[in-house]
Amino acid sequence: MKRSSIGLLKFYRNLPIRNKLVLVLYIQILIPLVLVGYLSYKNSESIILEKSTDYSRDILNMIQLRLNDYIDNLTVISQDLLYENKIYDVLNTTQNPDDPLSRFEYENTVNSHLKMVVISRNEIRAICIYDNNGKTYYADDNSRAAKSKDEVPYQDMLRVARMRKGKPAIFLVSKDRKVQDIYMVRLINDRDSFTELGLMVIHVKKEVLDQVYQGLTGNLQNIVILAADNGLIASRDNSDTTTLSDVMVDNLSGDMGDKIDSKAGVFVSYLTLKNIGWKIVAYVSIDQLYKDAYTLRRNIIMVCVACALLLSVITAVIALDFVNPINKLVKGMKKVQAGEGNVYVQVDREDELGFLNKAFNEMSGEIHHLVNWVYREQLTRKEAELKALQSQINPHFLFNTLEAINWMAQLHNVPEISSTVSDLSDLMEASIGRDDRLISIAEEFRYADKYISLQKRRFGDRIELIKDVHEEVVEVKIPRLLIQPLIENAVYHGIERIRGKGIVKLNAFKTEDKVSIEVIDNGAGMNRDELEQLNDRLSMDNDTYFKKLGEKKSGSIGIENVNRRIKLFYGENYGLTIESEEGNYTRAVVTVPCDINTGREGFYVQSVDNR
């Protein structure tokens, strides 16, 4: 998680400013817009579902009341027929007359009464009464839909009626899970002994059930009435149960409920009639239910798309207005970085970006001035100073060398002068220099050997050079004649002042990324005051040193010249330090870097031009 967050942060930081502006504006506008639109859509969806649920329950309760009234009317009709004396007398064999004419009159009277009931009640299609002797009494409305008395499933009806024990029961005849006929059946019992006298069967007009839908409005147009076994009794849209999924129909449990069947794509609300087990089911497709919500969603999407397009155009214009001046500034900076001088960026605005461009133009002009005048002038001055320092060293050294030759000539007057002059020639060659600006430490130490060889002509065995050079520094490059002036100083200001044997130690070693070169002598040394004054002058920065150069003459020209050469060449962090104890020793420590970029501007010539 942390890596992904870092990766996203890095990706964002690497984006161009134009893309960042677009992203920020999109986040600030589109996200709230989408969020508000989504919440509005979900809220409208919830409100629609809640209102549809309440409405569907009201509709179902109304249909339930109408069906209960319908059943109650049928029950009243059956009750009236049950207590009709003519019918009771016909079924009671003990009261039937024996002669056929009287019996015919009784039977004709019963049929006439049944006919009158059928004609007077619109919800009845036919009435049939069976006695225990197989005799039937029948009347219908003379329609083709009326079933004959022989087509009625008598035995099944009798079994259902007996289970109800004298109470009315609804009997349904179905085919392919669709109810074809509806009957109300009821046993007729003896009033005194409660013995079974016959069976009353009332054939109900199924189409009368359509009246329960009259006057209903709203989006719940699909209403069906299902039997206890989920067979279709009636449907408002004249469809069958295939409109609903079988899973939904089979899982309508409980007295009342509502649910969304995502598989069938419908919203279903249902109610169960407790007395007969029928279910009233109202359903509507989800698309129809959420029609208004879908319209709102479509409008929200269209608004978001329109806002995104408009925002993109506005953002592009604003981003270009911001980015173009920045790009101009970046191009100008790249030109300056590439070395072009006096770069100018066109400024046509007064805001913060305009201020940055103006400041850049001023800075570019100032840099051009510094590079072409001040900096070049400083380089020229420093190189002149460096050559001046070398010109101070070379005459001083040449004077001392010639003095040594003079001593040799006076004392010996022999061919040793030839070798002395040869050593001197090598040292003069090193002083004048050739094409190489730097030489290795090993080569510089060979010049030290030449110098000691010359001094041996004067001091003989009173002087000795001991070298300790680590292998890792022998090839490190340093300016010419950086060490020889220090050895010269050790000889003339140290060893020359003592009577015993003088030893000069020359050490070179590496510490971290620096090279240290030590020149140690066992000469006269310096007192504390002289040492402090010398180190103070050595620690000065170049500007301060050259400003005070003419104020006071110093007796340590060679040492100070070496120190200034190091600082001019390597920088103020490097140079020369002196340690000394009067009467014991003096140690000069040169510190230079291991590596130096010889291709940089300001790399100076280290010797006098030999032309």
- The pLDDT tens digits of the residues spanning 145-155 come to 566 667 778 88
74-88, 187-201, 442-456, 551-565: least confidently modelled range: 551-565
Q: What is the pLDDT of residues 374-406, one digit of tens each?
A: 655 565 556 656 655 565 555 556 656 656 666
Q: How far apart are CA 219 and CA 231, in angstroms?
A: 24
pLDDT range class, residue 419, cuts 50, 70, 90:
low
* Dist. CA 21–CA 396, nearest whole Å: 71
Regarding predicted confidence, which is higher, 443 or 548? 443
pLDDT tens by residue, 40-72? 777 877 787 777 777 778 888 888 888 888 888
pLDDT band for position 609 (50/70/90)? very low
- Could you give the angle at the alpha carbon of 542 between the alpha carbons of 537 and 543, nearest 5°? 110
- Partners of 258 in the beta sheet? 269
pLDDT at 342 > cutoff 60: yes
pLDDT exceeds cutoff 70 at 575: yes
Q: Which residue has the higher pLDDT, 29 or 66?
A: 66
Measured over the CA atoms of residue 560, residue 563, residue 569 and residue 573, the dihedral's sign is negative
Three-state secondary structure call for residue 498: coil
What is the chain's length? 611
The closest of 198, 203, 204 to 186, measured between CA atoms, is 198
How much is the pLDDT for 427? 64
Give the highest mean pLDDT range of 161-170, 315-324, 544-553. Answer: 161-170
Nearest to 482 by CA among 387, 599, 393: 393
Predicted pLDDT of residue 507: 94
The answer to whether 150 and 141 are in contact (CB under 8 A) is no
What was the pLDDT predicted at 590?
Answer: 94
Other Cβ atoms closer than 10 A to 346: 9
pLDDT of residue 515: 94
Higher pLDDT, 339 or 174: 174
Calpha distance 127→203 (Å, rounded): 6
Contact 575, 505 (CB under 8 A): no
Euclidean distance between CA atoms 194 and 322, whole angstroms? 103
Residue 541's pLDDT band, with cuts at 50, 70 and 90, is: confident
b/e 547-573 (16+ beta carbons within 10 angstroms → b): eeeeeeeeebebbbbbbbbbbbbbeee
Q: Which whole number is the average pLDDT over 543-548?
A: 68
pLDDT: which is higher, 98 or 451: 451
pLDDT (average), residues 17-22:
72
- pLDDT for position 291: 75
Q: Give the residue, 351 or 605, on which the prediction is more confident.
A: 351
3-state class percentages of the chain: helix first, strand second, coil last, to nearest 5: 55, 20, 25
Domains by residue range for the chain, with CATH: 83-210 (3.30.450.20), 392-593 (3.30.565.10)
Report the C-alpha gap between 545 and 568 in whole angstroms.
11
Average pLDDT over the chain, rounded to an integer: 76
Q: How far, in Å, CA of 421 to CA of 401, rounded? A: 9
Distance between CA atoms of residues 560 and 385, nearest Å: 13
